[in-house]
A and B are shown apart, each in its own frame.
Chain A
């Protein structure tokens, strides 16, 4: 009996322990193991940091050559003082991991298609796509490029060792909270993972593809109508680098580029549309919709996502001639999908050779955007299309051989083993052609089923350097800047630059394919090598500019050059922010850091400024009902600013979107049926609205009457009025109407910020949408000493239980900045320093 109850109690206890350390499923939701999770010694309580702040302990990193001192300021920014760059990289790896380990893990898992290993089957489709797009292939090739530069590899290895020194000393209680919630363990870092972080950014920024949509739209409309609706050049735009005659000696040997421009309409009559099929297709689509009671386009207004947000950014540098202090000022605000933990991690790296402050990407050594005691630089995305689709001509039914110029070639198979939590791994075979991976060939109904992806990131670079870290972070002058950014291939960036000696410069830096006119705009025939890229634009011929006479350089994801640039390129370019920024820069006199702030925070929308007067001009008056008069009054009085508290922007948004979608009803109806088609860019729409009001596309094909822009504008105004009558709760200020969230990377609301009220618009310099926006605002005045100001919407810590997790969000939302603390020595006195941490080797 005694033995029985003793054994029984042991078994019962064992059963409880087992139960409490096993994750439980409640329907769809998965709950972490309760025992380990609630245990205050290693569970979630351990992630609740003291609100008093600083608690960094001295640490050891095997392999450090000398002691490294880290000073933490009041924002928990580490200021690393090392004897050499390698030691600095090691400690940067350590402190970044200490704050952002889970973010680093999940970012690389996503890029590598390894989410399902820890999250199970629900992320399998995502993983499969990452693998099939060749993300790991790209990262492996990038690493091969780095391996050709011993200096780069030393830094990468040091950074990796630093991260791993942190990972190796972790006990279960130290794991970031997300590991505990999702019930998996951190892994060691590797140089390949650094490459994956970069490829993941490259994919984010360079993979906007419209080849398929353009191909479908061209087939639907015919060439004349397509060219009329999709001109490649907005004539009011100011390109990043203007033509000053610098390209006249470049002989490309390519056909002359004659880009199609806007303004003149090539097609104005229904009969001129070579795509009669369009109208037939449209009518068919309408009857399809009618049969299914699908509301016709234009009725479901505010959720319509027109002009999907393009990852964008602003940067500029103003020469001393335009500033009050006579020192150059540089500003940069990269716009990205805002997340928590924050995209960026601020750091200062001080060695005998450099003293640099700025933001780094967790997982990548060095500083991406920042300044030192002599120079400052910033980046925006170049938006060139550097990925194309080629339709493969298969030579056998098994699709293992394909035809290239009559020669039969064998595909190369890459076996991808995708681990899946809770079930056996999926073994996927990806076919690689000379173009690249045949991404979608596991989905027989996918329109790109037979297509291979050609992406610049799949190339093995000759020699790839961490040029930013090795040269630019410690750079002193324009020559260093030029040397540092050579070979920065993908994602291509507009590097803006300024020095304390007064130079300003900008360069459109990247690896850009040499194309025939229109090449890459549509899905291409992959059976002819003549369709391949002709190489890459030589490094000395990429658009670049130094010290222009008018005293400023800038970029806002607009076209890199005017059409006179000898190389054809295409991409997703912004058409609004750049124009307004140019206007403001051109008017600048005696600029100060504060005037730069007002420019970054500017909510003025060039798009509204272009479109609203045209819309108001077409609106029939008088409007007789009081409600309509009130709406009109609000709109007429509007200053085109998307400030948080303004009430006119929601009216304009609904009215404009309705006009837009009702104009492109022929195309939108195709889209609603799941066909990938393009709608014209909004700048082209604005132009037609202002200059070609009887364009055939304003006509609704299913009415006997021929509508014009006037009809569209008036019926849309009525719809807008109706919408606000039916949804009175929506008649509110811009910030609550649009909504805004900074979401946690795992989409956990508890770890997100859903309460932030901000204005801004994707067409304004302060380019905020529901979840995208300025991920880092930085302004640097290159005086003596250099002074930096910056803020990002998050915090230094990735731990939701830390006060440094989102402590900068409110400052950012209010449009305020922090003084960035560039220390000269670890002993420098400052009331902002809250603690020190010393690193030594064993």
Chain B
């Protein structure tokens, strides 16, 4: 559980920074790295990655949108044939979550390749 929280915050913080320099899908790499550093099983990794990825994208969009008083979102919504600002925010969260989740899964499976033990067993041993 502790690893999950740390990974989540790691993705949020490092994700924010890496997006300033990295490619638009940087959250995939950050989520993978988070799970490699703070290991957990694939199911939990998927959940953490998805949550963190969607929060990362959603919070940033939400922040920008409120500073902008929703002006741009309403115009872009019109460009997409009448989509609302809330729907745009949801779509943003969905895409962030998809990338974060997949990245975390890569991390979990990759970590599994490097350290062949079951992380749950390892944790119990500690």
| Alpha-carbon distance A43/B19, docked complex (angstroms) | 11
Q: For B78, list chain A residues within 8 Å (CB).
A: 749-750
| Alpha-carbon distance A576/B92, docked complex (angstroms) | 55
Tell me whether B64 and A45 are in contact (CB under 8 A). yes
Q: How far is the CB of B13 from chain A (nearest CB, A)?
A: 14
Is residue B95 contacting chain A, with contact meaning CB distance below 8 A? yes
Interface string of A113-142 (1 = CB under 8 A from B): 000000000000000000000000000000
Q: How far is the CB of B77 from chain A (nearest CB, A)?
A: 8
Interface string of A37-71 (1 = CB under 8 A from B): 01111111111111110000000000000000000
| Alpha-carbon distance A291/B29, docked complex (angstroms) | 71
Tell me whether A47 and B72 are in contact (CB under 8 A). yes
Within 8 A of A (CB), among B65-94: 65, 67-69, 71-73, 75-79, 88, 91-92
Tell me whether B60 and A35 are in contact (CB under 8 A). no
Is residue B20 contacting chain A, with contact meaning CB distance below 8 A? yes
Is residue B109 contacting chain A, with contact meaning CB distance below 8 A? yes
Tell me whether B72 and A9 are in contact (CB under 8 A). no
Tell me whether A748 and B72 are in contact (CB under 8 A). no
Q: With A39-B24, A40-B60 as given contacts, are A16 and B68 in contact (CB-CB < 8 Å)?
A: no
Tell me whether B72 and A17 are in contact (CB under 8 A). no
A-B contact count (CB 8 A): 109
Q: For B19, list chain A residues within 8 Å (CB).
A: 39, 41-42
Tell me whether B79 and A39 are in contact (CB under 8 A). no
| Alpha-carbon distance A17/B60, docked complex (angstroms) | 20
Is residue A626 contacting chain B, with contact meaning CB distance below 8 A? no
Tell me whether B106 and A9 are in contact (CB under 8 A). yes
Partner of B105, one of A9, A748, A800: A9
Q: With A13-B102, A36-B24 as given contacts, are A51 and B92 in contact (CB-CB < 8 Å)?
A: no
Q: With A10-B106, A17-B25, A41-B24 as given contacts, are A48 and B73 in contact (CB-CB < 8 Å)?
A: yes
Q: For A705, list chain B residues within 8 Å (CB).
A: none
Q: For A181, list chain B residues within 8 Å (CB).
A: 79
In the A-B complex, the 7 residue pairs with the smallest Cβ-Cβ separation, listed nearest first, are A750-B78, A801-B72, A48-B72, A48-B68, A41-B19, A40-B60, A6-B109
Tell me whether B64 and A46 are in contact (CB under 8 A). yes
Partner of A13, one of B72, B96, B103: B103
Partner of A800, one of B72, B88, B91, B116: B72
Tell me whether B57 and A5 are in contact (CB under 8 A). no
Tell me whether B69 and A51 are in contact (CB under 8 A). yes
Secondary structure at chain B's binding surface: helix, strand, loop or mixed? helix
Is residue A743 contacting chain B, with contact meaning CB distance below 8 A? no
Most buried by B among A13, A181, A749: A13
Q: Identify 27 residue pairs between A and B in the complex whose beta-carbon atoms are under 8 Å apart, listed by A's number.
A: A2-B109, A2-B113, A2-B116, A9-B102, A17-B99, A20-B25, A34-B91, A35-B25, A38-B91, A38-B92, A39-B24, A40-B60, A40-B64, A40-B92, A40-B96, A45-B60, A45-B72, A47-B72, A48-B65, A48-B67, A52-B67, A172-B24, A751-B79, A800-B72, A801-B68, A801-B72, A801-B75
| Alpha-carbon distance A177/B80, docked complex (angstroms) | 14
| Alpha-carbon distance A13/B102, docked complex (angstroms) | 6
| Alpha-carbon distance A52/B67, docked complex (angstroms) | 8
Secondary structure at chain A's binding surface: helix, strand, loop or mixed? helix
Q: How far is the CB of B55 from chain A (nearest CB, A)?
A: 11
Within 8 A of A (CB), among B19-69: 19-20, 24-26, 28, 57, 60-61, 64-65, 67-69
Is residue B119 contacting chain A, with contact meaning CB distance below 8 A? no
* Sample of 9 more A-B contacts, CB < 8 Å, known A6-B112, A46-B64, A751-B75: A3-B113, A6-B106, A9-B105, A38-B61, A41-B24, A48-B65, A51-B67, A750-B76, A800-B75
Q: For B99, list chain A residues within 8 Å (CB).
A: 13, 16-17, 35
Partner of B71, one of A35, A38, A172, A801: A801
Within 8 A of B (CB), among A146-190: 172, 177, 181
Is residue B98 contacting chain A, with contact meaning CB distance below 8 A? yes
| Alpha-carbon distance A749/B78, docked complex (angstroms) | 8
Interface string of A3-19 (1 = CB under 8 A from B): 10110011011001100
Tell me whether B60 and A41 are in contact (CB under 8 A). yes
Interface residue ranges, B against A (CB under 8 Å):
19-20, 24-26, 28, 57, 60-61, 64-65, 67-69, 71-73, 75-79, 88, 91-92, 95-96, 98-99, 102-103, 105-106, 109-110, 112-113, 116
Q: For B112, list chain A residues within 8 Å (CB).
A: 2, 6
Is residue A351 contacting chain B, with contact meaning CB distance below 8 A? no
Q: For A49, list chain B residues within 8 Å (CB).
A: 68, 72
Q: B24's closest neighbor in chain A, by CB? A: A39
Tell me whether B64 and A21 are in contact (CB under 8 A). no
Q: How far is the CB of A8 from chain B (nearest CB, A)?
A: 9
Q: How far is the CB of A749 from chain B (nearest CB, A)?
A: 7
Q: With A13-B102, A35-B95 as given contacts, are A40 and B61 in contact (CB-CB < 8 Å)?
A: yes
Is residue A521 contacting chain B, with contact meaning CB distance below 8 A? no
| Alpha-carbon distance A49/B98, docked complex (angstroms) | 27
Within 8 A of B (CB), among A441-485: none
Is residue A777 contacting chain B, with contact meaning CB distance below 8 A? no
Q: How far is the CB of B53 from chain A (nearest CB, A)?
A: 11
Is residue A836 contacting chain B, with contact meaning CB distance below 8 A? no
Q: With A9-B109, A16-B102, A750-B78 as given contacts, are A39 and B68 in contact (CB-CB < 8 Å)?
A: no
Within 8 A of B (CB), among A173-218: 177, 181
Q: How far is the CB of B21 from chain A (nearest CB, A)?
A: 9
Q: With A2-B109, A6-B113 as given contacts, are A12 and B68 in contact (CB-CB < 8 Å)?
A: no
Q: For B75, list chain A residues within 8 Å (CB).
A: 750-751, 800-801
Most buried by B among A16, A40, A45, A803: A40
| Alpha-carbon distance A529/B91, docked complex (angstroms) | 67
Most buried by A among B20, B61, B103: B61
Q: For B105, list chain A residues within 8 Å (CB).
A: 9
Q: For B77, list chain A residues within 8 Å (CB).
A: 750
Q: With A12-B102, A48-B72 as given contacts, are A5 and B67 in contact (CB-CB < 8 Å)?
A: no
